[in-house]
Chain A
Amino acid sequence: MKKASFIAFRVVLYAILIAPLFLFGLYAFSERWFFPAPLPTQWTASIFTRIITNSRTTAGLSASLSLALIVTVLSLIIGYPAARVLGTKVFRGRSLAWLIFFIPTVVPPLAIGMGLNILFLRLGWSGTMFGVVLAHLVPTLPYTIFTLSGVFSRFDENYELQALVLGSSRLRIFLTITLRLILPGLVVASLFAFLISWSQYLLTLLIGGGKILTIPMLLFSAVSGGNPTSIAAYSLIFVAPPVIMIAASARFLTQHGNTIREQY
């Protein structure tokens, strides 16, 4: 009895997890679906094809993808040294550094974006990719640093020292020792940087000033348009990269012992 209810519970849990994709699929590929039909009476892929191939969408996709990739790479490059120091060293002002990285994870993008809006407008960075990338770094960089510093706090630097003593070059040590040891954490950190940037709506809106049109912005305008088919189509386009990336990095997510504290 207990076993049966446990299985039922699991089935419900897993059904909820799959449900959004199923729902978006129904709406995105329906042609005729009058109330109260439980399923579409006529199906079509042409609406979805039209939406995904129109120039607004393709421009949005390339803006979103390049933005998220640039932000991820920058977060890793800038975040790596900071995370390493924060994770391995004990120094004066460590808690201050920690605080500086912690506060932006709590303060909402709304407040950050509204504050930076006027500054970037005056500097001429509004509506530029550069400005939006900088703004995205405020939430992504701290998360990257915290994820990586968690890895470095369990990291034994003696492996590197040993290789150094044996005459390895710095580059070789980094590639063959450091990188391998921190790989799971690195994957998780870049995953989060990517996801936070990819799903960012407010910062792009407030800094991009309508000139940088990303997928979340197209999705919002589809929602205010109110047509379920195009809402569902844009939702599918929007969730595709996160779904693929989470599935691909599943191995690392379960390995990575730290609890995930990210919300986006």
Chain B
Amino acid sequence: MAPAILIISVLFGASILFGLAQSFGMMTGTQQETISLAAYQSVFSGQGPAGREFWSSFWFSLWVATASTFFSAIGALAVAIWLSDRKKKSQQIDTLALNWNMAFPHLVWAIALLLFFSQSGFLARLSATFGFIQTPAEFPVLVLDRFGIGIIIDYVTKEIPFLTLILLAVLRSQAENLDVVAENLGASRWQQLRFVTIPQVMPALSAGSLIVFGFIFSAFEVPAILGVRYPRMLPVLALDFFLNQDLNRRAEGMVISFVITVFVIIVAILSQKQEKGTQQ
């Protein structure tokens, strides 16, 4: 046990410690030797170079993460209910199909969407072939758009299988009997859903949704590929300032990264609380 604890706590602890030091303006390659809150001030006040973009990035990240999580949860609930009452054989095939989604990391899924939805992409070509549009410019801007629609489409399509697997695990382990009981007691299909199935999966769904939310809020690859220059999601902004030529900007990048970290840790704690509730 000791080696694993040692490696993780030393590496993780060091990264937090050195990250904090840099957010206070130390060790950023500038000559500064004292602790300074300048970076925090310039980010949160919206005045510094990173600060001017910070709040719009923050709200944009919140919008993308909330919308993606919401639609993923709704979609997963629908798919899971749809797939739940099937025979053993097709259960295995469905699990396999949903797991297959893992063969495509987020990075490559985003690229697939780029090739599919862009204005000269596959979907635009099909629309032109069927005469809906004449030129690429007529195709709606679905990826690389300023409302984050492309990013949301990516996360929703990727997270629905993820959440569905979580929900199916709950439904398959217990739902059957209660469903039958409800039916015997004369519940309609809708009543079964509303009063039996949905309350059953709700704790798992909200715990899973919080995991998804935290991940989307802090992930870099998808907004880097499907996003625009402005507004940018927080991780993209943080890395850009951290790698900036101007070493004074590093501290600001680090501050933004800490905002993300604190945010996702809070979300993770909430998720764990939900899960604890499930087990009781």
Binding site for B on A (CB under 8 A): 6, 9, 13-14, 16-17, 19-20, 23-24, 26-27, 35-38, 78-79, 81-82, 85-86, 97, 100-104, 106-119, 134-135, 137-138, 141-142, 145, 195, 198-199, 201-202, 216, 219-220, 223, 228, 231-232, 235, 238-239, 242-243, 245-247, 250, 253-254, 257, 259-264
* 0 or 1 for each of B1-19: is its CB under 8 Å from A? (1 = yes): 1011101110110111111
- Closest chain-B Cβ to A70's Cβ sits at a distance in Å of 14
Tell me whether B218 and A86 are in contact (CB under 8 A). no
Nearest CB of B to A120, in Å: 9
Contacts of A119 in B (CB 8 A): 14-15, 18
Q: Say yes or no: B96 contacts A118, CB within 8 Å.
A: no
- The answer to whether B196 has its CB under 8 Å from any CB of chain A is no
CB within 8 Å for A116 and B11 given contacts A108-B264, A254-B95, A264-B105: yes
Contact of A259 with B220 in the complex, beta carbons under 8 Å: no
Q: Which of B107, B111, B238, B268 contacts A110 (CB 8 A)?
A: B238
- Majority SS of interface residues in chain A? helix
Chain B residues with CB under 8 A of A262: 102
Contacts between the two chains (Cβ within 8 Å), count = 218
**Which residues in B have their C-beta under 8 angstroms from that of A254?**
92, 95-96, 99
B227-279, CB < 8 A from A: 235, 238-239, 242, 253-254, 257-258, 260-261, 264-265, 268
Known interface pairs A100-B5, A235-B108; A110-B220 also in contact (CB < 8 Å): yes
Q: Is the CB of B116 within 8 A of A19?
A: yes
Residues of B contacting A223 in the complex (Cβ-Cβ under 8 angstroms):
111, 114, 225
The 9 residue pairs across chains A and B that have the minimum distance between CB atoms: A115-B15, A36-B128, A115-B19, A199-B105, A108-B218, A82-B4, A20-B112, A246-B103, A106-B268
For B15, what are the chain A residues with a Cβ–Cβ distance below 8 Å?
111-116, 119, 138
Contact with A along B81-124 (1 / 0, CB 8 A): 01000000000100111011111111111011011100010101
Residues of chain B within 8 A (CB-CB) of A257 are: 169
What are 24 sample pairs from A and B whose C-beta atoms fall under 8 A apart?
A: A13-B79, A24-B112, A35-B135, A36-B125, A38-B129, A82-B3, A100-B8, A103-B12, A106-B264, A106-B265, A109-B220, A110-B238, A110-B257, A112-B11, A199-B106, A202-B239, A219-B111, A223-B225, A235-B108, A235-B112, A239-B103, A239-B104, A242-B103, A264-B105
Our pick among B17, B124, B235 for the contact of A35 (Cβ within 8 Å) is B124
Query: A9 to B75, alpha carbons, bound, how many Å?
Result: 13
Q: Is A106 in contact with B221, judged by CB distance below 8 angstroms?
A: no
Task: Select which of B115, B242, B268 is within 8 A of A114 by beta carbon.
Answer: B242
* C-alpha spacing A146/B170, complex, angstroms: 19
CB of B3 within 8 A of CB of A78, answer: yes
The answer to whether the Cβ of B206 comes within 8 Å of any Cβ in the partner chain is no
Given contacts A78-B3, A115-B19, A116-B14, contact A19 B112 (CB under 8 A): yes
Q: Given A35-B136, A97-B5, A111-B258, check contact A138 B12 (CB 8 Å).
A: yes
B126 touches A (CB below 8 Å): yes
**Contact present for A141 and B112 (CB under 8 Å):** no
Quick one: given A19-B116, A119-B18, A138-B11, are A14 and B97 in contact (CB under 8 Å)? yes
In the complex, whether B25 has a CB less than 8 A from a CB of chain A is: no
Question: Is there a chain A Cβ closer than 8 Å to B56's Cβ?
Answer: no
**Which residue of the partner chain, among B1, B109, B116, contacts A97 with CB atoms under 8 Å?**
B1
